[in-house]
C-alpha cells in the first residue's frame, strides 16, 4: 500500500479547510438572514412619527441589538439615528428627523447578535403630512338650562414655536370639527351628528332637562377625506 504523499496531504487539508470555511459562511449567512428585522414601518399620530419593526424569524437572543438609519427620499446618504444605535427596543422615535412634514422619508433597521450583523430592512416611503393620523379634539362641556356649550381644542403637534408652545394641527391642515350627541334614554350607540365646522365654541340647544346626554367629537381633514377617532365621551345631566 502506497503512503500518502506530502502534496496529497496538503491538497486534502486545503479541501477540508475550504469545506469548513464554506460551512461557516453558510451558517453565518443563515444567521444573518434569521435575525434580519421584519415589518419595518412608520407609525404616526399628530406628526409624532416612530419607526417600528419586529424581530427576525429566529428566536430573539438576549444580546440582539438594532441599528436605525433614515434619509429623505432622493438623497444618497443615510443618517444614523444616534439615540437608536445598538438598542434592544423595537421602536425608534424619528419625530425630529421627519420635521419637514411634506418631505418623503425612508427608515431602515439592521440587527446584530453574537457578533453577526444582518442586512438592512427597509421601510416603505413615508410622508408625514399625508400619512399621519389626526387625533380627536379636546372637548370641554359646560351645561346650561336647556343647552350644552362645548369648547373644542385641536390636537397639538410635537413641534414647538419659538416661545415654547406646541404648534396646533390646524397650522398644518384645514380641520373641521364633527360633534355627536347621544341621548342616554335611547340606544347609546345611536350618535347624532349635531355640528360640523370650524368653530371652537358651539352650543347645542333645545335639550330636555333631567336627561343624561353625552357628547363626542372628531376632527375631519377634507383634503385627505380622513376622520380621527372619537374623543372621550363627556356626559352631563341637564337641570
Task: Show me where the domains of the chain are located.
Answer: 33-130, 134-237
In angstroms, the CA 212 to CA 186 distance is 10
Secondary structure class of 67 (helix, strand, coil): strand
Whether 19 shows a pLDDT value over 90: the answer reads: no
In angstroms, the CA 122 to CA 91 distance is 14
Query: Per the structure block, which three cell numbers stand in for 143?
Result: 351645561
In angstroms, the CA 150 to CA 41 distance is 37
Element (H, E) at 31: helix 6-35
Element (H, E) at 30: helix 6-35
pLDDT tens digits along 184-226: 766 566 788 999 999 999 999 888 888 888 899 999 999 999 9
User: What is the mean predicted confidence (pLDDT) over 30-40?
Assistant: 88
Q: Phi and psi (nearest 5°) for 39?
A: 50, 55
Query: Per the structure block, which three cell numbers stand in for 157?
Result: 403637534
Whether 8 shows a pLDDT value over 90: the answer reads: no
Whether 147 shows a pLDDT value over 80: the answer reads: yes
- DSSP letter at 202 equals E
Secondary structure class of 35 (helix, strand, coil): helix
pTM assigned to the model: 0.82
Q: Does domain 134-237 have CATH number 2.60.40.10?
A: yes
More confident residue, 61 or 182: 182
pLDDT of 65 reads 95
Contact 77, 83 (CB under 8 A): no
In angstroms, the CA 142 to CA 40 distance is 45
Give the class (CATH, top level) of 33-130.
mainly beta
Query: Do the two domains 33-130 and 134-237 of this chain adopt the same fold?
Result: yes
CA 25 → CA 32, 34, 191, distances in Å? 10, 14, 63
**Length of the chain, in residues:** 239
**Pick from 8-12, 79-83, 120-124, 212-216: least confident:** 8-12
Q: How many C-alpha atoms does 234 have within 13 Å on its Cβ side? A: 20
Amino acid at each position: 500500500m502506497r503512503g500518502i504523499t506530502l502534496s496529497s496531504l496538503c491538497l486534502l487539508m486545503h479541501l477540508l479547510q475550504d469545506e469548513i470555511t464554506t460551512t461557516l459562511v453558510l451558517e453565518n449567512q443563515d444567521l444573518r438572514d434569521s435575525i434580519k428585522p421584519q415589518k419595518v414601518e412608520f407609525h404616526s399620530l399628530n406628526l409624532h412619527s416612530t419607526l417600528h419593526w419586529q424581530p427576525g424569524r429566529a428566536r430573539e437572543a438576549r444580546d440582539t441589538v438594532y441599528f436605525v438609519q433614515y434619509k429623505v427620499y432622493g438623497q444618497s446618504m443615510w443618517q444614523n439615528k444616534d439615540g437608536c444605535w445598538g438598542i434592544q427596543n423595537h421602536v425608534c422615535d424619528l419625530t425630529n428627523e421627519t420635521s419637514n412634514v411634506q418631505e418623503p422619508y425612508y427608515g431602515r433597521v439592521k440587527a446584530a447578535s453574537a457578533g453577526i450583523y444582518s442586512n438592512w430592512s427597509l421601510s416603505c416611503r413615508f410622508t408625514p403630512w399625508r400619512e399621519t393620523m389626526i387625533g380627536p379634539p379636546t372637548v370641554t362641556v359646560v351645561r346650561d338650562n336647556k343647552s350644552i356649550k362645548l369648547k373644542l381644542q385641536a390636537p397639538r403637534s410635537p413641534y414647538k414655536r419659538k416661545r415654547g408652545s406646541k404648534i396646533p394641527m390646524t397650522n398644518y391642515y384645514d380641520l373641521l370639527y364633527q360633534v355627536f350627541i347621544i341621548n342616554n334614554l335611547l340606544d347609546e350607540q345611536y350618535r347624532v351628528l349635531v355640528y360640523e365646522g370650524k368653530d371652537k365654541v358651539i352650543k347645542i340647544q333645545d335639550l330636555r332637562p333631567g336627561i343624561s346626554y353625552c357628547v363626542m367629537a372628531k376632527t375631519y381633514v377634507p383634503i385627505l377625506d380622513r376622520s380621527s377617532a372619537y374623543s372621550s365621551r363627556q356626559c352631563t345631566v341637564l337641570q
